[in-house]
Amino acid sequence: MRPLLRLKPYLLRYKKKLLLGLLTVIGSNVFTIVQPMFLGKAVDELKRGIEMHTFVSSDLLMWAGLIVGFALIAGVFTFLTRQTIIVVSRHIEYDLRNDFLSHLQKLSYSYFQNMPTGDLMAHATNDISAVRNVVGPGIMYPSDTIVTLTFVLFMMFMSDWQLTLLALIPMPLVSFAVYKLSKFVNKIFTARQEQFSLLTTRAQETLSGVRVVRAYVRETYEEERFRKLSYEYLKKNLVLAKVQSIMWPLMFVLVGFSLVITIYFGGLKVIDGQMTIGTLTAFTAYLGMLIWPMIAFGWVANLLQQGAASMGRLAAIMDSEPEIKDTETTDHSIENIHGTIEFRNVSFTHKNAAQPTLKNINLKIESGMTVAVVGYTGTGKSTLVNLIPRLYDITGGELFIDGIDIRKIPLEVLRSNIGFVPQETFLFSETIAENIRYGVDNNLEEDLNMAAEISQIAKEVMEFPKQYETMIGERGITLSGGQKQRSSIARAIMRNPKILILDDALSAVDTYTEERILHRLHEFMKDRTSIIISHRISTVKDADLIVVLQNGEIGERGTHDELVAINGIYADLHRKQLLEQQLEEM
């Protein structure tokens, strides 16, 4: 139950409303508890009337009226209880889900490389819903149960303390059974939630990669994998259902023993004249009122165990500290950057990697320069540019922007001044306009048009039926690879960045369009810093500086002509691409 203590700040946030809810619980019980007493009085009055062969007396009508009136008032209080405590639980669910997403947004890029998306989706849906049950029914029913038990037991002891003690004999067995079964429920529920995470992950990956699945004719294979996971989830649910199916009948049986004891010994008292039939009726009604608290006790114990298991799973994520964040060394007086970048003997090693990805990188990029990074696959080009917006933090050396250690620059300031087009293009299931405007709050039409013109996507967008308001589907599925890349470039330009990073962002664009984009970018990025990663020599040949990475180190640097003259790696890449071009022309 310890994980549930994490809910304390959320409960304190709504303490006034929760307190009001508890008062309505008391009010509901006050007007409910007296009804069996009125019922007993009415039964005695009815018995007296039968014995005297009289018509229905005014007293009997009065007791009947009081029962109906008090039931209506109790119903109003019950309605108010749900309008306070249950509504608060929905607000807490809302807050918890927002805090969960907010925390995920702060976690480092490397965290998501090791955590399946489907698993996180399961946490954000099933687990948060289970926790919500703790702060809704998990608060309302225990408070109602405690108040009901207190009032009912008080009335029963006032009526006949000896019969009350006899009737309560089976009750400790209820508590013991609930305690034992609840521990088992916690274990089963945790296993069920973990299986649900696997199931969600499988579904998410299959749907995201549906084109690959169909291309390789693996529909049956994927269906079988999903069926196996789903069957395991079914089995775990059935085990949980079996345990719960034992719990509820056991409650009724144990409470039923109390009813048998009451009727037998109470009946003897009525025969002996020690108790009226009306008092026994009221006593039996009070005992009936104990049935729901006993069942609710088991049900709530079940909810608490499930909620604790889910909160424990959520806490494991919420306790994950972001590797990259603002610290006490961050200089919050920095509000802008100009774009001079300097790597001083920088090294970087991925977690659990045997060898460093980057080694001894020394490179200075002046503000306004266009620098290209080339090299064979796997030499660390993408990793190098990922260090600039601090998607990764360097593991050795120093990285400066405008002469300031990058760790001292607030993350928001750093990233808001960088336009980054990653190697894997990602577009949201929104309109083209919303995707281009994603990184800014700017809704000016001329800025949108300018960004689209520079990225050479404007002409094609205008041919769409709804132009910029065209919905592009999940991950931009309705656009071609080149259109997605150009939309991403427009999104980066829209930010009006001081540093523009293109990580192989023109690979799906033809050479003619590429040349036009680079020409327009050259005009746009005057007095701004540009870093371009590409496998095409045609993309980088006009850069102010070309850096060639080899095995994580800078093997060559210089202009296009200088590197061709060196006759090294760059010249080899250049010759191969010229040969490919000639073969295509033939």
DSSP-derived secondary structure for 386-403: HTTTTSS--SEEEEEETT
Spatial neighbors of 570 by CB under 8 A, at least 6 apart, are 374, 537, 546, 548, 556, 563, 564
Residue 415 falls within a domain, yes or no?
Answer: no
Residue 232 falls within a domain, yes or no?
Answer: yes
Other CB atoms closer than 10 Å to residue 18's CB: what's the count? 21
Distance CA 340, CA 409 (A): 13
Residue 346 falls within a domain, yes or no?
Answer: no
User: Is the separation of the CB atoms in 305 and 189 below 8 Å?
Assistant: yes
Judge if 114 and 229 occupy the same domain. Answer: yes
Which residues in the chain land under pLDDT 50?
Answer: none
Strands (DSSP E) found in 279-355: 341-348
Distance CA 334, CA 410 (A): 7
DSSP 126: I
Judge if 68 and 217 occupy the same domain. Answer: yes
Residue 476 has what pLDDT? 65
Q: What is the CATH number of the domain that holds 62?
A: 1.20.1560.10
Continuous segment of H or E residues that includes residue 121: helix 117-122
In this prediction the pTM is: 0.68
Which amino acid would we find at residue 279? T
Integer-rounded Cα Rg, in Å, for the chain is 36
Residue 235 falls within a domain, yes or no?
Answer: yes
Residue 410 falls within a domain, yes or no?
Answer: no
Judge if 15 and 154 occupy the same domain. Answer: yes
Residue 577 falls within a domain, yes or no?
Answer: no
Which tokens go with 202? 């499988």
User: Is the separation of the CB atoms in 374 and 304 below 8 Å?
Assistant: no
Instruction: Name the domain boundary from 532, 559, 574.
Output: 532
Domain extent, residue 436, equals: 423-532
User: Is the separation of the CB atoms in 158 and 37 below 8 Å?
Assistant: no
Residue 9 falls within a domain, yes or no?
Answer: yes
Q: Which of 288, 268, 270 is CA-nearest to residue 279?
A: 270
Exposed/middle/buried for residue 165 (C-beta within 10 Å: 0-12, 13-18, 19+): exposed
Distance CA 159, CA 153 (A): 10
Distance CA 393, CA 326 (A): 12
Cross-sheet strand order for the sheet of 529-533: 418-421, 499-503, 529-533, 370-375, 545-550, 553-558
User: Is the separation of the CB atoms in 74 and 28 below 8 Å?
Assistant: yes
DSSP result, 431-490: BHHHHHTTT-----HHHHHHHHHHTT-HHHHHTSTTGGG-B--GGGTTS-HHHHHHHHHH
Judge if 305 and 174 occupy the same domain. Answer: yes
Distance CA 553, CA 390 (A): 19
Q: What is the CATH number of the domain that holds 477?
A: 3.40.50.300
Strands (DSSP E) found in 234-357: 341-348
Residue 55 has what pLDDT? 53
Instruction: Name the domain boundary from 532, 549, 566.
Output: 532
DSSP 322: P
Residue 580 has what pLDDT? 64
Residue 363 falls within a domain, yes or no?
Answer: no
Which tokens go with 470? 């065209």
Judge if 80 and 208 occupy the same domain. Answer: yes
Judge if 301 and 430 occupy the same domain. Answer: no
**N- to C-terminal Cα distance for the chain?**
74
Judge if 143 and 20 occupy the same domain. Answer: yes
Q: Are strands 545-550 and 370-375 parallel, antiparallel or unpaired?
A: parallel
Judge if 191 and 47 occupy the same domain. Answer: yes
Exposed/middle/buried for residue 6 (C-beta within 10 Å: 0-12, 13-18, 19+): middle
Residue 67 has what pLDDT? 82
Cross-sheet strand order for the sheet of 404-405: 358-365, 341-348, 396-401, 404-405
Domain count, the chain: 2
Residue 584 has what pLDDT? 60
Task: Give 267-310 pLDDT, tens digit per residue.
Answer: 888 788 787 777 777 778 877 777 777 667 667 776 777 777 78
Spatial neighbors of 357 by CB under 8 A, at least 6 apart, are 348, 349, 350, 380, 383, 552
Instruction: Name the domain boundary from 490, 505, 532.
Output: 532
